[in-house]
Structure 1
C-alpha cells in the first residue's frame, strides 16, 4: 500500500547526485550565472556534501534510485522534486515553468518507468507545473501553488489527471523579485506530520491557513531571520523525523520543542547557492500511507 502525503516514512526515493547534475567544473562555470545561482558551486565540496546527505536518507531505510545525467540537463537537475509528481495513478510529468529545465521530466520518467513506476500522464503547454508547488495532505487531498512556475492551465490539467475524488486546494503565491527566481508553495510550508506543518506565516494566504486549520493541522513558525536561508525547507523522513539545513538554530529549536527529531546537513554548495533545500533535492516515490504513517 502506497501513501500520498509528505510525512509518512519514506520507503522509496529518487535523487540525482552532483556527478549526474553538476557533472564537472566546466559545466558549472558555463551555467551557474545564467541559472542565477548565488555564487559558483565548488564541485568537490558539492560531492562531499551530497554524500553526507545521501547517507542520512539511506540510514532512514529508504530505497534510493540515483537518476542519471544527460545532455538535456542543467545544474538545476539536482533538484529532482520539480520534474515529476507522484500520485495514486502514477507519475505526472511536469511542464516546467523554467524553460531551461524542460528536459528533466522525460529523462527522470524514463528511468523510473524502467524501475517499475507507472506513468499517469503529463502537463502540456501552455500549462506549466513544478513539483515544488505541490503537496499531498493525505491520499485524497492536496494543495497546489499558483504562481510564476505553475499556472492556471497547468492546474486545470492536474485536476483532470487526479480526478474528481481528489480535493485540490489552490494557493495564490507571491511573485518573486525576478521572473527567473523561484518561489514555490514549498518555500513557505513543509508538512511534518498529519497534524503539523512548518510555515512562514507572513507569506501564507489567510484562506490557506484557515483551510489547514480546518483539517486539524497546527503550525511551527519559521522566524523572520531564518526564512531566506531556507528555514522553511524541511524534509520529513517520517512523522516528525526531519532533515534540514544546518545553521538554522531557532527553527531547529522550535521543531524539537514540537516533538520532532531533527538531523542537519551542510548544504552550502548543493542547497544554498542554488536555493534548493532537502525537499528540492528529493523526489519521494513511496511513503507509508497517512493511516499507517508511523510504520
Structure 2
C-alpha cells in the first residue's frame, strides 16, 4: 500500500503523488566556495545563477502541489544540494547512508538531522565498510526497491539496506552497473532510468543494466530511450511529481516531446547550473511523503 496521506512521511513509490519533499539550498559565496564546487568535480558554476535556478525549481515544486521543506546550505559540502543521495526514505522513515565519494562524507548526518526536525524518524544507518548513494535506489513497485551495485554502492550496503527494508515487507532487486568512466565519476543506477508512471520510464539504454531492462519488460513497463546528447544534459534525470506528471530540465526537448507523445504532462525548469554538478531534479529532491 502507498503511504497514508494523514502521515507526514512514508514512501513506497517513485511515481506516486509527491506530497512532501525536502530540498537544500545550494552553497554560495566567493571564490573559495567556487573552489569547493570544483574540488567536488563540478564544472565551474555561476553561484548566483545556481541559487536563482534552484529557487525557481523549488517554486515549481510548490506550484505543482508539493509541500517543500527547505534546508540550509552546509558549509564545505557543495554536493549537499543533491539531497536524494545521502538518505533513503522508506515506509517507516529514513535510512542514513555513507558516501563513497570523499567530498560527500558527512552529508548523511546533516540530512538526517534536517529530516528528524521535519518529523521523519530514522529507522537505520549503514555501518562498517558499507557505502551507498540513494541515486542507486528507486522503487520498482510498492514492495520492491531496485539497488544498483556500483562504485558508489557496495555489497555490504546492499545487504544492510535489504535487512532494514525487510521490516516493512520490502524486497530488493540488485543490478550491476558498468565501469563507464570509472570510480572518480558518477554513474548511479538512476543515471540510466527515471520512472514516470507505473507503466512508463525513461531509460539511457547504453549504460542500463541488461537485467534491469529485462525486469522492466517482464513487468510490462515501457520505456522512452534518451539519446546520447540529452543524456549529457541529464535528460534521463526526471522527477515524477505524480503518475504521468514530471519535472525536468528545459534543455532536453526531444525527451520532453517523446514523453508528451505518451500522454505525459511535462513541466520544465532551467537546470543549466545544476547540470554542472551532474545532478538533475531527482537528485535535488528527497521525497518524504508520497501518497
TM bin, normalised by shorter chain, reads: over 0.9
Match of 1:247 in 2: 251
Contact 1:95 1:125 in 2 (8 A): no
Q: Structure 2: how far apart are the matches of 1:205 and 1:178?
A: 16
The answer to whether the aligner puts 1:14 opposite 2:18 as a matched pair is no
1:26 has 2:31 as partner: yes
**2:63 counterpart of 1:59:** yes
Q: Note the C-alpha offset of 1:3.
A: 4.1
Question: 2: distance between equivalents of 1:242 and 1:98?
Answer: 29
Q: Render the CA deviation track for 1:175-225: whole Å, top value 9, x for unaligned.
A: 242422101011000000111111111222222111112222111111222
1:92 equivalent to 2:92? Answer: no
Task: Determine helix, strand or coil for the equivalent of 1:202.
Answer: coil
8 A Cα contact 1:220 1:258, kept in partner: no
Instruction: Give the counterpart of 1:143 among 146, 166, 189.
Output: 146
The separation in 2 between residues aligned to 1:25 and 1:49, in whole angstroms, is 18
Deviations 1:7-62 (A, max 9, x none): 111000000012xxx23123423312211112x21121112111111111001111
Q: 4+ runs of 1 displaced by more than 6 Å?
A: none
Matched ranges for 1:199-214 at <5 A: 199-214=203-218
After superposition, the C-alpha distances for 1:201-259 in whole angstroms (9 at most, x for unaligned) are 12222221111122221111112221122110000111111111112121111011011
Specify every segment of 5 or more residues in structure 2 that has no aligned partner in the other structure, as ranges: 5-9
Match among 178, 195, 202 for residue 198 of structure 1: 202
Q: RMSD of the TM alignment (CA)?
A: 1.4
1:189–1:198: 8 Å Cα contact kept in structure 2? Answer: yes
2:229 matched residue in structure 1: 225
The two structures have a TM-score, normalised by structure 1, of 0.92
User: For residues 244 and 208 of structure 1, what CA distance do their matches in structure 2 show?
Assistant: 23
CA distance in 2, matches of 1:47, 1:70: 14
Alpha-carbon separation, structure 2, partners of 1:119 and 1:27: 34
Q: Give 1:1-295 correspondences, 5 Å limit.
A: 1=4, 2-18=10-26, 22-38=27-43, 40-71=44-75, 73-163=76-166, 165-269=169-273, 271-288=274-291
Q: Tell me which residue corresponds to 1:292.
A: none
8 Å CA contact retained: 1:235, 1:243:
yes
3-state SS in 2 of match to 1:264: strand
How far apart in 1 are the matches of 2:230 and 2:117? 40
Matched residues in 1 for 2:166 and 2:32: separation?
41
Distance 2:69 2:78 in 1: 19
- Runs of 5+ unmatched residues, structure 1: 289-295
Q: Distance in 2 between matches of 1:89 and 1:153?
A: 22
CA distance in 1, matches of 2:186, 2:228: 19
